[in-house]
Chains A and B, each alone.
Chain A
Amino acid sequence: MGLLEFLHDSDLSLRPPEKVMHPTTLGSARLTRLSFSRSMIRRAASNNWKIERTSIDLDECGRGQIIYRVEAEDHIFHFVAFTTTIDESLHTDRVIADGWEISAALVEGELSENLLNFLATEVPKQETSRLDSRVLSITRGNRSVRFYEYLVNRLASGFQPEAEKVGDAGYIMRSTAFYGNGKFGMRSFLGFPPDHPLAAPYRAQFLAAWLFRETSYDSVEYCAQIRSPEKAVAFDEQWCRFFGLGNATGLGLIPWAMKHPKKLNAWVSVRELALAGVRALPNSVEHRELLEEWIEQGHQHFASFQGEDRWPWMGPDSLSEVILGIRDVFSSMDSEEFPFDALYLWAEEQGPEITELVVSLLLELDETSDDEVDRLLRVDNSDAPDLLMTVGDLNDKIAEEYFWLDDLDLESSQASHYWWVISDNAEEPRRAERSVINPEHRDVAIDFALRLNQLKNDLKKADCDIKVTQFLQDLPHHGIAVNRTVKDSGPYSEPRENVCDLDHLPLNLQRFQLAMYGMDNFKAQSTDWLRVTLFQGAPRIAELCPDTSDRWVWPQQPQTDQRSSFL
């Protein structure tokens, strides 16, 4: 059964697209058990992937090379990281940097000397590299300027980190991009056969991200040992789980979300189908206790992290209070016939951030199989054109599915305030003010709301009986809008907003995608970019086994402990 059949035929009560695809709902999403970081670790654990570090060659400053080998379901992969140091003044969160302290690639197959040399030449170039289908993902990033040296010195001295000094960091290294899916000649995502272990969206990138995080730990521990072979210790159990991988995210996510309506629909749909299933669960002690455990885990996490609100979202202090409120409300629902639905309905009255926090908690009760979710997420964006559709048919479809355009005030001057563009420096997506720079031929055509509105107006003037293909012969500039509307991309394919509007807030769409990736600790740095962490609490590679728990998210900040464990 395909995803659209599930959505159309489902007996489940799904949330309406007008609510789910509203910018503030998308902008309140949190990681869930369906997030890609978690499904990747579950797949690796349940299929008994064998991962080992096969080579580490670093100097005392951490410059050199680290290689990991992954044996996964009859496939061999290698993650190769090249590390160096660059002046702190050259560190940037943007994609435009000339160099990075870590650049790495995930490749499929055995690692010959030729391939290693090829990677050593090409991977550090990142956006100007020329790769091939052996390469599945490349990434890069820098060390945390504040903490890397501190952590090395601390371990070299035989001590664990002091919580008050690094507890708010959450990461040792910070990435700025994970490229894959055909970029720079890499293998295309749909080039993976369906039974391939990485044939789920972003699984290759998240395997790379997890191993990037492992690289950060290994780099610190190895340097500590080089500097002080006698005294150095490894990170203890709590610190081994605490650090994730930092990430800075800019505007690149917006064009992606707007250009891939079918994929966006799939991402949202698996969440909504799961949520509807959980809300329909009858009262049971087992499910109630499981939810209570997650509520407690969330409370301990937010309480230990601490931090004030940071526009436009709540910080850990507020979330800690909120989750206590959720606990109290839920405890009063133990005689409800459908307590999970009741909790959701209560949350809906509290605003989008609390609603989506409750959604993330409720989704922990979902038991949809990972294989099924992976299947539903595997979307092919190509569609055969419909040569039979008439203008009248299209008019009806737009009236039925795009009525929300009327609420966006698309005829106003502020509706086309911005246009989207790609900078010549590392192809960084930006937005520009139309009144300041003329787009000429350089606009990235993600102005879908504006285009759909113009299409709607012109369709009204056209003969309803002619074919849409004939309509396009006279007005070919409507091609993008027509293609978007004739496809049945699904009910959750369209964010209810105009990304060219003066008031468009990119953070909303960015946050939804980052939550789906499995990122957390959203810290907006402006209207256009934010910092996050991923894999905080995740197992390290040596811990991975079929019994690895999926409960690794929402770790607590470690406490200072002077005990040491020798390498």
Chain B
Amino acid sequence: MNAVDEMFDQTVLVAPREVRDLIQRASRVKGCEASVADHLATKVTFCEVHYGGGIRGWLQLVSEDTNCLSEVVASAQILDSLPANDVSEFSWNSPIPFVLIAKSLSVLQTYGFTWSCDPTPITGDALVRCVYLTQETSADHLLDDKMQKALSDGLKVNYADWKDLTNIAAEFLLSEEILDNSGSPVYE
């Protein structure tokens, strides 16, 4: 096994933008409209950097039913708005992966809300049944040291997950042959 194979044996170092780009493309492949895919890519990247398991959570979603991705994303969208009350509870009949709500909860923290989940998630692929929000007087901001470290040193992700994601995202690309045959302008 050479050095490159060893490096890829368990984990691979990637840049945050790569996670974003691949999730965006792969979500398109899995039926999301461009805006939804963009939104989802932001969520997954945030979760992967801060909690890990973001890519795996996304892969779990698409492995269950390829047509439901947009709907599951929509079901978590309620947390993208400010709650109407100081104390709120949101629940899902079918638990959703934490990757879909981690970013929203972080944003809500900047508006003074504290949150807890049932069950308590550790990584992005953990399933969450219920979220509790409470308005506090002072906001508890998530420090972004993890993002800075990921930008500087790279982000360690599971290699098998990365490979699966890369393969799905590859279907976003269009065959050059089709483009050439269509008369698409290029270096003429």
List the interface of chain A (C-beta within 8 A of B): 92-94, 96, 114, 117-118, 121-122, 130, 132-133, 181-193, 250-251, 384-385, 387-388, 421-425, 427-428, 430-433, 436-437, 441-443, 445, 467, 469-470, 472-473, 476-481, 483, 525-529
Other A-B contacts than A187-B152, A387-B81, A473-B80, 11 sampled, CB-CB below 8 A, are A185-B18, A186-B15, A191-B148, A430-B174, A437-B174, A469-B81, A473-B74, A473-B78, A476-B73, A480-B35, A526-B185
Which one of A190, A384, A424, A525 has the highest number of Cβ atoms from chain B below 10 Å of its Cβ? Answer: A424
> Interface with A: B26-34, B52-60, B127-135, which one?
B26-34
User: In the complex the two chains form, is A433's CB within 8 Å of B183's CB?
Assistant: yes
Of B173, B176, B188, the contact of A526 (CB 8 Å cutoff): B188
- List chain B residues, Cβ under 8 A from A117: 3
A391 to chain B, nearest CB (A): 13
Q: Would you mind naming 15 contact pairs between A and B with Cβ atoms under 8 Å apart?
A: A182-B17, A185-B15, A185-B18, A187-B15, A189-B151, A387-B111, A423-B173, A437-B174, A437-B182, A442-B28, A442-B174, A473-B78, A476-B73, A480-B34, A525-B187
* C-alpha spacing A186/B179, complex, angstroms: 30
CB nearest neighbor in B for A466: B81
A98 to chain B, nearest CB (A): 13
A510 to chain B, nearest CB (A): 13
* C-alpha spacing A307/B153, complex, angstroms: 48
Of B13, B29, B38, B81, the contact of A467 (CB 8 Å cutoff): B81
Q: Is B92 an interface residue (CB 8 A)?
A: no
User: In the complex the two chains form, is B4's CB within 8 Å of A118's CB?
Assistant: yes
* C-alpha spacing A358/B182, complex, angstroms: 42
- List chain B residues, Cβ under 8 A from A185: 12-15, 18, 154
Of A93, A130, A181, A388, the contact of B17 (CB 8 Å cutoff): A181
Chain B: number of interface residues, binned into ranges: 35 or more
* C-alpha spacing A73/B107, complex, angstroms: 38
- List chain A residues, Cβ under 8 A from B62: none
A119 to chain B, nearest CB (A): 12
Of A130, A251, A481, the contact of B8 (CB 8 Å cutoff): A130
Of A118, A477, A528, the contact of B187 (CB 8 Å cutoff): A528
Which one of B78, B111, B153, B154 has the highest number of Cβ atoms from chain A below 10 Å of its Cβ? Answer: B154
* C-alpha spacing A425/B122, complex, angstroms: 39
A425 to chain B, nearest CB (A): 4
Of A188, A385, A430, the contact of B152 (CB 8 Å cutoff): A188
User: In the complex the two chains form, is A441's CB within 8 Å of B179's CB?
Assistant: no
User: In the complex the two chains form, is A188's CB within 8 Å of B35's CB?
Assistant: no
Interface string of B136-168 (1 = CB under 8 A from A): 000000000000101111100000000000000
Supposing A185-B15, A387-B107, A473-B80 touch, asked if A445 and B151 sit within 8 A by C-beta, the answer is no
- List chain A residues, Cβ under 8 A from B1: none
Q: Is B61 an interface residue (CB 8 A)?
A: no
User: In the complex the two chains form, is A424's CB within 8 Å of B107's CB?
Assistant: no
Which one of A251, A436, A478, A481 has the highest number of Cβ atoms from chain B below 10 Å of its Cβ? Answer: A436
Q: Is B115 an interface residue (CB 8 A)?
A: no
Supposing A441-B31, A476-B36, A477-B35 touch, asked if A436 and B183 sit within 8 A by C-beta, the answer is yes
User: In the complex the two chains form, is B173's CB within 8 Å of A422's CB?
Assistant: yes
CB nearest neighbor in B for A444: B34
B88 to chain A, nearest CB (A): 14
Interface string of B89-117 (1 = CB under 8 A from A): 00000000000000000010011000000
User: In the complex the two chains form, is B81's CB within 8 Å of A473's CB?
Assistant: yes
* C-alpha spacing A423/B173, complex, angstroms: 5
Of B12, B152, B153, B170, the contact of A130 (CB 8 Å cutoff): B12
* C-alpha spacing A536/B103, complex, angstroms: 47
CB nearest neighbor in A for B28: A441
Interface string of B3-29 (1 = CB under 8 A from A): 110001000111111100000000011
User: In the complex the two chains form, is B186's CB within 8 Å of A437's CB?
Assistant: no
Supposing A130-B12, A387-B111, A441-B29 touch, asked if A470 and B81 sit within 8 A by C-beta, the answer is yes
- List chain A residues, Cβ under 8 A from B150: 188, 191
- List chain B residues, Cβ under 8 A from A388: 82
- List chain A residues, Cβ under 8 A from B151: 182, 187-191
Of B38, B78, B179, B188, the contact of A479 (CB 8 Å cutoff): B38
User: In the complex the two chains form, is A476's CB within 8 Å of B4's CB?
Assistant: no
CB nearest neighbor in B for A132: B13
Of A182, A251, A483, A528, the contact of B16 (CB 8 Å cutoff): A182
- List chain B residues, Cβ under 8 A from A385: 80, 107
Of A183, A193, A469, A479, the contact of B82 (CB 8 Å cutoff): A469
Supposing A441-B28, A472-B80 touch, asked if A528 and B186 sit within 8 A by C-beta, the answer is yes
B residues 55-71 near A (Cβ < 8 Å) are none
- List chain A residues, Cβ under 8 A from B182: 432-433, 436-437
- List chain A residues, Cβ under 8 A from B33: 476-477
- List chain B residues, Cβ under 8 A from A130: 4, 8, 12
Of A384, A436, A437, A479, the contact of B35 (CB 8 Å cutoff): A479
Supposing A432-B182, A476-B36 touch, asked if A188 and B172 sit within 8 A by C-beta, the answer is no
* C-alpha spacing A251/B175, complex, angstroms: 17
Q: Is B85 an interface residue (CB 8 A)?
A: no
* C-alpha spacing A508/B182, complex, angstroms: 24
User: In the complex the two chains form, is B82's CB within 8 Å of A437's CB?
Assistant: no
Supposing A133-B152, A190-B151 touch, asked if A422 and B172 sit within 8 A by C-beta, the answer is yes
A435 to chain B, nearest CB (A): 10
* C-alpha spacing A424/B167, complex, angstroms: 12
Of A92, A424, A431, A481, the contact of B176 (CB 8 Å cutoff): A424
CB nearest neighbor in A for B20: A182
User: In the complex the two chains form, is A479's CB within 8 Å of B39's CB?
Assistant: yes
Complex A-B, nearest 9 residue pairs according to Cβ-Cβ distance, in ascending order: A182-B15, A479-B35, A191-B152, A191-B151, A445-B34, A469-B81, A424-B173, A188-B151, A425-B176
- List chain B residues, Cβ under 8 A from A93: 187
CB nearest neighbor in B for A385: B107
* C-alpha spacing A14/B134, complex, angstroms: 47
- List chain B residues, Cβ under 8 A from A96: 176
B40 to chain A, nearest CB (A): 10
